[in-house]
Structure 1
Amino acid sequence: MVSGLEEVTLATIALVLVAGLAAGWVDAVVGGGGLIQLPALLLVPGISPVQALATNKMGSVFGTTTSAVTFYRRAHPDLRTALPMAGVALAGSMGGAVVAASLPSSVFKPIIVAALVAVAIFTATKPTVGELTKLRHSGRRHYATAAGIGLVIGFYDGMIGPGTGSFLIIAMVALLGYNFLAASAKAKIVNMATNIGALAFFLPHGSVLWGLGLVLGLANMVGGYIGARMAVTQGSRFIRVVFLMVVGALIIKLGHDVWVENFGG
């Protein structure tokens, strides 16, 4: 038995392990692992949506921390940008989690789908964007833009979540001028902070299923380590291709949710 639930079978735990491994890999490369992980958690018998969200965040903390450390050791991202951005994002994520407790995510999903479509078109039609780092700003303007990205996307992660890593990467590529590899390395540090911020809200409420979360966290760590190493080895072009695939999957998933919520299937 996994803590907090009854009658959790070995098959269910195996499903969570596989989903966590795949989600950790996707999150490490471009973000969006929640597309795999959260639906798998919702299949666990007796789990509530809030427990699934909270346990998903717990597992993701392990994965993003592992990939962040791996990226730091192998790609050496600029911490002068990443750490302040992560601090602001953590605060934004906690605020978003508070709003999530009282406001349905369906209110925002059509806007998110439109934003993802715009991101996909931008990335697909500008093949050279993100190949090389060409910073758009310097000094205070650079750090202020990075902090703004962290605050907005951190708030989004705490409130809704899917695609946070992808939004972070494209924002750093388009607005700050980093290549995909540098943006992905920094996104892992920021995403780790947003996961911690949301978890800080969920933990006092007792929503986290610890046994399931630890199993998920272990799988996330393995997937995150493999994904981060592959991203560093393969470089920006590989990340760009995976990025477009994940954004496409996000558009289909959230678009389907919007359709079902508004037209009933």
Structure 2
Amino acid sequence: MHDISLATLLMLCLAAGAAGWIDAVVGGGGLLLLPALLVGYPNLQPAYLLGTNKAVAIVGTSAAAVTYTRKAPVDVRLAVRIGIAALAGSSCGALLAAGIDSAVLRPLIMVVLLGVLAFVMLRPAFGTAPAGGPAGVRRVAAAIGVAGLGIGFYDGLIGPGTGTFLVIALTAILQLDLVTASATTKIINTCTNLGALVMFSVQGTVLWKLAAVLAVFNLAGGLLGAHMALKKGSGFVRGVLVVVVVGLVTKLAYDQWA
């Protein structure tokens, strides 16, 4: 595992578990795990961290997707259609990820997070209303373009925050409540993770032994998070979203300028 200390490995395991929980509730677990990997492997090329993050995340998102589809009113056919577009987008993004510099990665993630926080805070009722009726052709096409191709490309290129952005996009475009949007996101996010992971694997930028260990903790966190979101509802999901975004912006800002 590239000769990391036991303390660093334990830190990464805890981060993977927490990331799985966050990912299942509201998305964006990579915003916790990727910075942790940056701390644990400060001198490793970012492409290896991005690839390892995908190998871990796909386990937790897949388990959460199965849990949600059993208990939440998810339109699986629509989610798969968006997911196929997202897979294509993430594959293209992953092809370009090798050129990403970690010095650019942190501030870029911070800017995106601040945008998410402003959007959620300025709309206090966002995602708490019951889901609307079936989406029309235009809304479905918009969801495929924005949530599928657009956010899928971002997921392959950078990754962290994809689940959060998908939840927001699906809630806004398809008029879903946050729990249903989160459930739908897990199916789409599994597709984006798969597309990106295939590309990272082909490029040989995945630390498979480390990913296998972290995936166990990510899986446990993902299952727990999905059950809690289903039980507590949209208000709980929104609260977690705000807390997670504030905490991560603070952490990344500290890492960047401390």
Of 120, 126, 132 in structure 2, the residue corresponding to residue 129 of structure 1 is 126
- Alpha-carbon distance in structure 2 between the residues aligned to 1:88 and 1:67: 20
- Alpha-carbon distance in structure 1 between the residues aligned to 2:101 and 2:34: 17
- Alpha-carbon distance in structure 2 between the residues aligned to 1:231 and 1:224: 11
Is the contact between residue 42 and residue 48 of structure 1 (CA under 8 Å) also seen in structure 2?
A: no
2:74 aligns with 77
Is the contact between residue 166 and residue 247 of structure 1 (CA under 8 Å) also seen in structure 2?
A: no
Query: C-alpha displacement at 1:71, in angstroms?
Result: 1.0
1:201 aligns with 199
1:61 aligned partner, one-letter code = I
Per-residue CA distance 1:53-79 (angstroms, 9 max, x = gap): 211110011111111111111214111
Per-residue CA distance 1:31-64 (angstroms, 9 max, x = gap): 1212221232234467443222211110011111
1:141 aligns with 138
* Equivalent residues in 2 for 1:94-133, closer than 5 Å: 94-102=91-99, 104=101, 113-133=110-130
Of 162, 165, 171 in structure 2, the residue corresponding to residue 164 of structure 1 is 162
Aligned residues: 256
- TM-score scaled to structure 2, two decimals? 0.88
Higher mean displacement: 114-123 or 92-101: 114-123
Unpaired runs of 5+ in structure 2? none
Higher mean displacement: 219-228 or 95-104: 95-104
2:212 aligned partner, one-letter code = L
Of 23, 28, 42 in structure 2, the residue corresponding to residue 27 of structure 1 is 23
- TM-score scaled to structure 1, two decimals? 0.86
2:37 aligns with 41
1:216 aligns with 214
Question: CA-atom RMSD, angstroms?
Answer: 2.5
- Alpha-carbon distance in structure 2 between the residues aligned to 1:201 and 1:131: 37
- Alpha-carbon distance in structure 2 between the residues aligned to 1:153 and 1:43: 26
Unpaired runs of 5+ in structure 1? none
* Equivalent residues in 2 for 1:226-265, closer than 5 Å: 226-253=224-251, 260=257
Identity over aligned pairs, percent: 46
Structure 1 residue 87 corresponds to structure 2 residue 84: yes
Query: C-alpha displacement at 1:92, in angstroms?
Result: 0.4
1:139 aligned partner, one-letter code = G
